[in-house]
A and B are shown apart, each in its own frame.
Chain A
Amino acid sequence: MSSRLTTEIAGLKLSNPTMLAAGILGLSEASLLEAIKNGAGAVVTKSVGLKPRSGYVNPAVVQVSCGLLNAIGLPNPGAQDFAEEIKELKKHGLSVPVIASVFGFSVEEFARAASILTRAGADAVELNLSCPHVKKTGSEIGQSPSLVAKVVKKVKGVVDKPVIVKLTPNVTDIVEVAKAGVEAGADAVTAINTVRAMAIDIETAHPVLANKVGGFSGPAIKPVAVRCVYEIYEEINVPIIGCGGVTTWQDAVEFMLAGAPAVQIGTAIASKGLEVFKSIAKGIDNFLKRKGYRSVKEIVGLSHHH
Chain B
Amino acid sequence: MSAYLTTTNQLRTVRIVGIRDETPTMKSITFRDRPSANASPGQFVMVWIPSVDEVPMSLSTTDPKEGFAAITVEKVGEATKALHKMRVGDLIGTRGPFGNGYTLTKARNIMIVGGGTGLASIAPLTEQIIAQKRCGVTFLLGAKTCNELLFLERIKAVLSKPDCEMIVTTDDGSYGEKGLVTDPAEHLLECEKFDMVYACGPEQMMYRVFLLTERHKVRFQASLERFMRCAIGLCGTCVIGRFRVCRDGPVFSGDELREVKSEFGHFRRGFDGRKTSL
Contact = CB atoms under 8 A, between A and B. Distances in A.
Nearest to B8: A63
A142 B194 CA distance: 61
B236 interface: yes
A273 B55 CA distance: 23
Contacts of B1: 67, 218-219, 247, 270-271
Interface string B1-33: 110111001110100000000000000000000
Contacts of A12: none
Interface in A1-46: 23-28, 30-31, 33-34, 46
A144 interface: no
B272 A55 contact: yes
Contacts of B273: 27-28, 46, 52, 75-77, 81-82
A34 B272 CA distance: 20
A33 B242 contact: yes
A172 interface: no
Contacts of B95: 63
Interface stretch (A156-164, A198-206, A254-262): A198-206
A67 B93 CA distance: 19
A210 B239 contact: no
A142 to B, nearest CB: 22
A31 B236 contact: yes
A82 B269 CA distance: 13
Contacts of A201: 11, 13, 50, 93
Contacts of B10: 63
B54 A63 contact: no
Task: Tell me the dominant secondary structure on chain B's binding face.
Answer: loop
B229 interface: yes
Given A72-B229, A208-B11, A59 B239 contact: no
A53 interface: yes
Interface string A116-142: 000000000000000000000000000
Interface residues of A, number: 49
Interface string A255-295: 00000000000110111110000000000000000000000
Interface residues of B, number: 39
Contacts of B93: 59, 201, 204, 208
A180 interface: no
Nearest to A202: B13
B71 interface: no
A37 to B, nearest CB: 8
A237 interface: no
A234 B44 CA distance: 49
Interface string B214-232: 0000000000000011111
A271 B5 contact: yes
A107 to B, nearest CB: 23
Contacts of B48: 58-59, 208
Nearest to B233: A270
Task: Tell me the dominant secondary structure on chain A's binding face.
Answer: loop
B61 to A, nearest CB: 24
Interface string B90-132: 0101010000000000000000000000000000000000000
Interface string B226-259: 0011111111110101101000000000000000
A44 B229 CA distance: 20
Contact of A270 (B50, B232, B242, B270): B232
B239 A28 contact: yes
B65 interface: no
Contact of A24 (B13, B46, B234, B271): B234
Contacts of A78: 272, 274
A144 to B, nearest CB: 28
A168 interface: no
A77 B267 CA distance: 15
A26 B232 contact: no
B271 A270 contact: no
A23 B229 CA distance: 13
Contacts of A206: 50-51
Contacts of A76: 272-273
A115 interface: no
Contacts of B51: 206
B264 to A, nearest CB: 13
A208 B53 CA distance: 10
Contacts of B242: 30-31, 33-34
Nearest to A209: B54
B47 to A, nearest CB: 10
A266 B236 contact: no
A62 interface: yes
Q: Which 7 A-B pairs have the closest CB atoms?
A: A58-B54, A203-B13, A271-B2, A25-B236, A61-B230, A59-B54, A54-B271
Given A24-B234, A31-B242, 19 more contacts: A28-B269, A34-B242, A46-B273, A55-B229, A58-B46, A58-B54, A59-B46, A59-B48, A60-B54, A67-B1, A72-B235, A75-B272, A77-B272, A81-B273, A81-B274, A218-B1, A247-B1, A271-B5, A272-B2
21 contacts: A24-B236, A28-B239, A33-B242, A53-B272, A55-B272, A58-B53, A58-B55, A58-B228, A59-B11, A59-B93, A61-B231, A67-B1, A75-B272, A81-B274, A201-B11, A201-B93, A218-B1, A269-B234, A270-B234, A272-B2, A273-B233
